[in-house]
Amino acid sequence: MTSDISTRREDGVAVVALEGELDAATSPALADALERLFGEEPPRGLVIDLAGVGFLDSRCIGVLVAAYRQARDLGVGLVVAEPQRQVHRLFVIAGIDQVIPIAESTAAAVRSLGR
């Protein structure tokens, strides 16, 4: 399975846009990308844009939860944005929606963190 990870900054908020299928093979690349963001000058907020993700497994959920905890410890807000229906459903089933905020759009997530 393949995935693509791109990062950009908007108003001091880092946006990590993911595309494709995220599984055990791709989760190390996601963890590395997130670790680099926290290792640099930490952003004011971090948005994980899942609009282009059709599949996400438990290993990637673990990476996102670990990133959420690291962000929280650094005082950085983290929001997941635009998960497709099946990915959103997985977040709800796993209870992740009770831990990590989920935004309807990436733009709304950036606005909420940029304040």
Reported as a single tens digit per residue, the pLDDT across 71-100 is 999 999 999 999 999 999 999 999 999 999
pLDDT above 90: percentage of residues in the chain? 83
> Do residues 67 and 45 make contact, with C-beta atoms less than 8 angstroms apart?
no
Q: What is the pLDDT of residue 52?
A: 96
pLDDT exceeds cutoff 80 at 58: yes
Q: What is the pLDDT of residue 2?
A: 58
Sign of CA dihedral 98, 104, 105, 111: negative
98's tokens: 């009770």
CA distance 27 to 37: 16
pLDDT exceeds cutoff 90 at 39: no
pLDDT above 70: percentage of residues in the chain? 97
- Sheet with 45-56: strands ordered across: 3-10, 13-22, 45-56, 77-81, 102-103
Q: What is the pLDDT of residue 66?
A: 95
CATH class of domain segment(s) 10-50+57-114: alpha beta
